[in-house]
Amino acid sequence: MPEGDTVYRQAALLRRALAGQVLTRSDLRFPAIATADLSGRTVTAVVPRGKHLLIRVDGGPEALVPLTLHSHLLMEGMWHVYPRGARWRRPGYQARAVLETAGAQAVGFDLGMLDLVATADEDELVGHLGPDLLGPDWDRAEALSRLARHPRRPVAAALMDQRNLAGIGNVYRNEILFLRRLHPFTPVAAVEDLGAVVDLSHRLLHANRDRSQRSTVGGPARRGEQFWVYGRGRQPCRRCGAPIREARIDDAELAPGEAHPGPLQDRALWFCERCQPAP
């Protein structure tokens, strides 16, 4: 599942293939930008921002406005890089973007979002995001401040809100709460050491950013054994043996009169009621 560490690796892959190279062909298969042509422009940077990916190009030989191609992987998206002319490993109908240089092709399959904006206007797409856990400008104090703005919000919802800190998806959300022994519905204000939650988030994403297979159990693990609770509903807790419970968060979890801070992620939660007692 693409989360901040996946996007970080995707950016590194694209950077190696595209940075400093002139695009000889582009094919953008989203209706709003299908007629755009980036050929002749040089790729100046490939930047991950939370779960978002930014590919910047210059103005080309005609000195046009520098542009940014913004993509989001959502659930199924993935960028591949191939030698020019090589056969793709996924069917062509899944391709949403093709960027070609003299020696390589970068193909974005099943991308959930694809936008093209002036580089100067990038903030219109990603300016709402909180501090990036894998970014060079990571700001722990700002992340804590944003989390604390809605003290009655369930911590499971607050961690998934990319406006608080960018890069955490459902896998990390579940694993972080288990490792900190926090029940998902604990209000943010009731978390005894919110700083420790943020610090663990930062450590886990950094530990996995260069791994081909994500693991939260203390190092590389065999497939099926790399997580504590994620995806393990009704299986025994690896720590205490109690059955792992599955639940979801909805608006009813907000306290009466609480101003809604934004859409909650209606995604599954997995937790151990014995290791993560209810507040």
- Summarize pLDDT for 234-269 with one digit per residue, the tens: 999 999 999 999 998 864 444 444 444 444 445 799
Q: Does the pLDDT at position 37 exceed 70?
A: yes
Q: Which of 2, 48, 154, 187 is catalytic?
A: 2
Is 246 marked active-site? Answer: no
Choosing from 127, 159, 186, the residue where a domain stops is 127
pLDDT in tens, 89-113: 999 999 999 999 999 999 999 999 9
**% of the chain at pLDDT higher than 90:** 87
Q: Which of 9, 41, 49, 51 is catalytic?
A: 51
pLDDT at position 254 is: 45
Is 2 marked active-site? Answer: yes
Q: Which of 140, 267, 273, 274 is catalytic?
A: 267
Nearest to 181 by CA among 164, 168, 200: 200
Tell me: do 180 and 77 sit in the same domain.
no
- Alpha-carbon distance of 60 to 39, in angstroms, equals 8
- Assigned token pair, 83: 């030698």
Residue bearing tokens 């020019």: 84
CA 15, 56, 72, 250: dihedral to nearest 10 degrees? Answer: 120
Tell me: do 19 and 79 sit in the same domain.
yes
Task: Report if residue 34 sits inside a domain.
Answer: yes
Residue 224 banded pLDDT, cuts 50, 70, 90 = confident
Tell me: do 203 and 111 sit in the same domain.
no
Tell me: do 63 and 168 sit in the same domain.
no
- Sign of CA pseudo-dihedral 4, 248, 190, 264: positive
- Alpha-carbon distance of 46 to 13, in angstroms, equals 9
pLDDT at position 250 is: 63
pLDDT at position 212 is: 83
Task: Report if residue 232 sits inside a domain.
Answer: yes
Task: Report if residue 123 sits inside a domain.
Answer: yes
Task: Report if residue 276 sits inside a domain.
Answer: no
pLDDT in tens, 166-188: 999 999 999 999 999 999 999 99
Nearest to 15 by CA among 72, 66, 53: 53
pLDDT at position 223 is: 79
> What H or E segment, with its residue span, contains residue 204?
helix 194-208
- Alpha-carbon distance of 236 to 198, in angstroms, equals 27
Task: Report if residue 279 sits inside a domain.
Answer: no
Average pLDDT of span 13-41: 98
Tell me: do 156 and 222 sit in the same domain.
yes
Is 61 marked active-site? Answer: no
pLDDT at position 218 is: 83
What residues make up the domain containing 58? 4-127
Task: Report if residue 134 sits inside a domain.
Answer: no
pLDDT at position 256 is: 40
pLDDT at position 258 is: 42
pLDDT in tens, 118-165: 999 999 999 999 999 999 999 999 999 999 999 999 999 999 999 999
Q: HEC profile for 224-260?
A: CCCCCCCCCCCCECCCCCCECEEECCCHHHCCCCCCC
Tell me: do 164 and 105 sit in the same domain.
no
Is 267 marked active-site? Answer: yes
Instruction: State the total domains in the chain.
Output: 2
- Alpha-carbon distance of 255 to 13, in angstroms, equals 44
Task: Report if residue 135 sits inside a domain.
Answer: no
pLDDT in tens, 67-82: 999 999 998 999 999 9
Choosing from 127, 151, 175, the residue where a domain stops is 127
Question: Across the strands, what pairs with 108?
Answer: 79, 97
Average pLDDT of span 50-66: 97
Tell me: do 100 and 51 sit in the same domain.
yes
- Alpha-carbon distance of 131 to 142, in angstroms, equals 7
The upper half-sphere exposure of residue 125, i.e. CA atoms within 13 Å in the direction of its Cβ, equals 23
Q: What angle separates helix 140-147 from helix 194-208, to the nearest 10 degrees?
A: 130
Task: Tell the burial category of 93 from Cβ atoms under 10 Å away from its Cβ (0-12, 13-18, 19+).
Answer: exposed
Would you call 82 helix, strand, or coil by DSSP? strand
Tell me: do 114 and 189 sit in the same domain.
no
